[in-house]
Amino acid sequence: MNLFSEKKQFAKTFIALAIAMMIILGSLVTVTAAISGTAAQTTETNDAAASKLADINAPANVIVLDVNGEREAVLFPEGTVAELLTLTNTKVGDNQIVIPSLSTVLTSETVVYVRNAKPVNVTADGQTKLMVLSYGKIADSLKLSGMPLSDEDILSVDRDAKVEDLSEVTIQRVTYKTVTETEEIAYESVTENSDKIDLGETKLSVEGKNGEKQIVKKVKYIDGKKESESVVSETVTKKPVDEVTLVGTKGAGSTGGAGTFTDMYGNKIAYSEVLTGSGTAYTAPAGSGTATGVTAYHGGVAINPNLIPYGSKLYVESTDGSFVYGYCTAVDTGGALMDGSAIVDCFYDTYDECVNFGRRDVNVYVIAEN
């Protein structure tokens, strides 16, 4: 037999002896009353609480009684909180609270709290009510009082704030929902050169189609109002189809292919592509802008961006090698470039330089990236 069983049996034996003494004393009182002729005024010795203990075979529950943090284990048969307090002679003051309520029927291992307390205005779930809360940390006291409080809920005071120092507190409920949304994926537009289409003309090759993706989001609400959201996952359910436009290069004189050329300084330079065609020259007032937003300058040339992307590093010279414009960058465009009547328009600072360049057949080398 373990220690607890021994204590439980001892308690039962003690209770039985107490009841026996009460019965004997009750009998003596009854005899005396009969002799004096006042049997009708006999004092009852078995009150409601004692009757709970009359059966020695009644199961004894282990109840924990916590009075302002001081705990003791009490062996107690079936009964209510009020009966436990009476039998243990526990006094409850006006500024104290009992948890659970006095009418609660006790079961084994129940903890009964008797705590100093004070009234606090608690606002939660759209209403404010006056609650009597036990002294201690506000979060603990709210939970002890039966007020729902999750770890995510927001208090208007620190969770460790003392009830003794508070007169009011507000609880904001934090909840989460998982939502699934379908979002469109925009298709991209790409261009491809085609030597089967005349220079400057375009043809739609593939029609673009938007795709779709499924997005799972975790949405945070505070008192029912959306506060924030975060993406949990994204799944593409339908891939987009790129729109493909063919850009004509027929007549541009592109020789294609990569190779090397010798520049004006005698250096052998690698190129990724060379275009051969008509070259022209232009000028503009100082400070004039270009299609890419930079100011026009000597060394910046105009091209058809469908053939040569903006920003490409180039080298321009006449096909017979008698004239060299040199190294330059694609920064501008113009009507003659887009309609195919020229493949490059070289910028000069003066009109006379443009006249000197005139119109001539040129090779435009696209410098290979290292």
Closest CA to 87 of 9, 14, 3: 14
Structure tokens at 86: 């009476």
pLDDT value of residue 104: 93
CATH topology of domain 251-367: Barwin-like endoglucanases (2.40.40)
CATH 2.40.40.10 in the chain, residue ranges: 251-367
d(CA 336, CA 270): 28
| Number of C-beta neighbours around residue 45 at 10 A | 16
Q: What is the pLDDT of residue 34?
A: 29
pLDDT in tens, 87-133: 899 999 889 999 999 999 998 888 999 999 999 999 999 999 999 99
In this structure, the number of other CB atoms found within 10 A of the CB of residue 89 comes to 6
CATH 2.20.230.10 domain locations along the chain: 176-248
Which amino acid would we find at residue 66? D
What digits encode the pLDDT tens for the residues 224-283?
999 999 999 999 999 999 999 887 766 655 556 688 889 999 999 988 889 999 999 999
Q: Is 65 exposed, middle or buried (0-12, 13-18, 19+ CB in 10 A)?
A: buried
Average pLDDT across the chain, whole number? 83
Confidence (pLDDT) at 59:
62
Look at residue 31 in the predicted model and tell me its pLDDT. 25
pLDDT tens readout for residues 154-201:
999 999 999 999 999 999 999 999 999 999 999 999 888 777 887 667
Q: Which residues, in sequence order, are CB contacts of 272 under 8 Å at separation 6+?
A: 258, 366, 367, 368, 369
Question: If you search the block for the tokens 């759209």, which residue do you land on?
Answer: 126
Distance of alpha carbon 139 from the chain centroid = 25
Q: Which CATH architecture has domain 176-248?
A: Single Sheet (2.20)
| Mean pLDDT of all residues in 336-362 | 93
